[in-house]
A and B are shown apart, each in its own frame.
Chain A
Amino acid sequence: MRIVTVRRLSQALFFAVFTWFCIVTTQGTEWWQLRGWPVNLFLRLDPLVAIGTILSTHRLYAPLLWALLTVVLTIIFGRFFCGWLCPFGSLHQFIGFLGNRKKPLAKRVQLNKYRKAQCIKYFFLIFFLVSTALPVAGWVSLQSGLLDPICLITRSVNLTLLPIVDSITGTISATPRFYEGAYLVLAVFFASVFLNLLIPRFYCRFICPLGALFAILSRFAIWRIGKNTSECSNCKLCEQACEGGCEPASQIKISECVLCFNCLDSCKDNVISYEAVPSLGGEVTSPNVSRRGFILSVASGVFAVPAVRLTGWLADNWPHKLIRPPGALSEEEFLKRCIKCGQCMRICPTNVLQPTGMEMGLEALWTPVLNNRIGTSGCQLNCTACGYICPTSAIRPITLSEKLGLGEYAEAGPIRMGTAFVDRSRCLPWAMDKPCIVCEENCPLSPKAIYTQEVFNTVRDGTLTVKKISANTIETIEKIMQPGKFATGDYYCAAGDVQRAKIISNTENSIEIAPNAIHGETLSKGSKINVQVRLQRPYVDIEKCIGCGVCEHECPVSGKRAIRVSAEGESRSPERKIVLES
């Protein structure tokens, strides 16, 4: 079998595996849903994730040890990951092939020639690594996930493509999925994919920081592509489909070679081979990074984090709407680990976990945040899925006992994501004298963190004058009641210090009350009665509330909710607590 056929099979296989893992990351009982598949496989094999978190935390989180395999294989064989395994790279190669296959040979050679701008990807890599590694003013931030191809394609497929397919076919998730600001994720994805029509593997050649990392790692690769004779017919057939743009016909740029083997396959004279001896055409083994470019990218990396932190997002000006999932590390530690892959938002059964937009600071872009207005029901009490899927432990894998503060965690108490606040200017029982308490009803804790206090309020124009009393009916002089309005079981008739009586029904000038409630002798013609509504007004017990947001999700004031969670009181930032321990 031709080597390029094997390579294509490998690419197709890994692309299929990647797609399959995206699909099965769905909660449910079907065979094609979550069944213990290693859905983080590609993120674990990605050494940029491992090295990034090592630089920021000085630890190698256990599952990321898989990256060592990729690193060692790359050191020995070169950039096999780019050419054989990377699902994003395979996609680029396929689109580039479709877009350019009908162009004449000379044009294709021209498209696939080496360009100086290919050094830009190294600038990105240096920028990310420096901002992750150097604690300028004690601040570091892991931002490589923005452009890391595995994070990018994982995020794009899970948060945009699958939900769009699902909204059309309705087959994957039980209820439609929504992701706020997903268009930005999709725009980056589409831009990367369609740039292949301009230059094949545009992203891989110019942008990919992971490719840049592999390029550096392959500096001492034992086997390389090269010419086994210094002379050849110079037909350029080898360069017409060169995926890396590494010019195998002349001096091959080893760091740019993605091991696509197209050169080897297309050479009619078998001049090109993959061997341990250096190319007889000569080779350039190191990336072409100018000193100026290097200094520029280091300097950008040094200043980037301090620059964005000048907003005070991690100090007193912290964004209170940034409600992190249960088990999330303190914000500073969280930003050292989160790679914006979106796996937590994908697995979240209720869809409450959302990609953060720009409004919470540039650093937090596409990191997980709870938006209780989206999804099926706030953060589900009996669920810890996000921590278990998080590939870097930015969200710790907590047990249910730890989340709920049971057993050995009883003293520490439950993990709080924030605190719910009743907005009394919008709440129906507080502001509009309408019964409601949907929030109380849905509070999942036992005992509930939302409790109510009963009040009876006289309704507008509810003070009436008695005209006549007979049996259970009070006739009033005024004829101003809307018939049936007070018949809901929530309205009462009060008079002086007499026991209130429940109203059964009313006409415009009479009220029927529950039997044996008010007696004729206590009321007479001319007495004043008050029509009152019974209200249960909600209060949040701040010592119990964990900020799960189910109340906010269910609040019938559907625009700006009348009960809203904000991040005060979250367990991960003790300095943000608002009440003293009792």
Chain B
Amino acid sequence: MSISRRDLIFLSSCFFLSEILRGQDWTDAIITEEDKNFPPKEARFYKKLDNKRIECNLCPLKCRVADKERGSCGARENRGGIYYTLVHSRVCAAHIDPIEKKPLFHFLPGTEAFSIATPSCNMWCKFCQNWEISQFRPEQIPCKYFSPEDIQKIAVKYRTPTIAFTYTEPVIFTEYILDICALKEKYKTRCVSISNGFIEEEPLKEWIKYHDAIKIDLKAFNDKFYEEITGGNLKSVLKTLETIKKNNVWLEIVVLLVPTLNDSKEEIKNLCNWVYKNLGKDVPVHFTRFHPTYRIKNLPPTPVSTLEEARNIGLEVGLNYVYTGNVPGDKGEKTYCPKCKKIIIDRYAFQIISNDIVDGKCKFCGKKISGVWR
């Protein structure tokens, strides 16, 4: 019997969870998709229309969904005119990761995040690294039930200061996130999301109330790429970035450079200029390396030289913190003081080698470094 890629993902998820929940019985890990195991919850952010139809107001797709149908994400279903989320408490991946893996480089460096995902996504990026869980419907993926309280308790038990919503797309499990976040004062945890930023304003405002940091994937700086490669749109994501920044939630940006599709010097320069002008010079931007996968297998991995060039463009534009990603050992994965230019956080891949930020300032010259340091 052969093991499919999906089986492999499930098994590794089980392994990671078993690492977390050592000593617990795992015989019930493979579960059925019956509703009784994952009771659907009425969604927030939707409008009722005539003939039992609804309009979803969670993301800019604003899906109009007839009875018994699902929105584009596949995670929400109209049942008799009431819209339900099918992914509340339905966890398909869980792991304890270094916060650097998110990547969040200016948020509690050297700490860990209890990271979870539920199935599905509101985009369909052709280069998705996690497509085996993001591009399937909830019932097509083995999951385990974890209530919001369970998630908080696991984070506390394993002393991870942060809970990260990641791997797939947190936007589509917003209700679950908000319920977990509502308990963060009680358990003294922090919450971060790793998102595509393709979200409507009303739910984003709710996110902002509770989040300590958000990392947004800015997939490209051209509409065509968003339309043809991701199923989203640039304008909405830029609006999300501005809203997060305006509301003082810690923000970092990742740009995955895909050879020939979004890696022209001109596009990178336009992107950096936009960030500088609209978000300021202190928002970290990570240019990360693409690896062929899912529906884009015909392109090579991003050359390291392209990433370095992108980083140089960002620095020339005036951004203070520009990184290269997915290239362990590259000089672009370290944090440099914008004033004295010394290395203040030395990293190798997701590991911290040294941290010379003291009380949020450069140990060498005293320059204040933007971020959340404790």
Q: Do A and B bind each other?
A: no
Interface, chain A (partner B; CB < 8 A) = none
**B interface residue numbers (CB < 8 A to A):** none
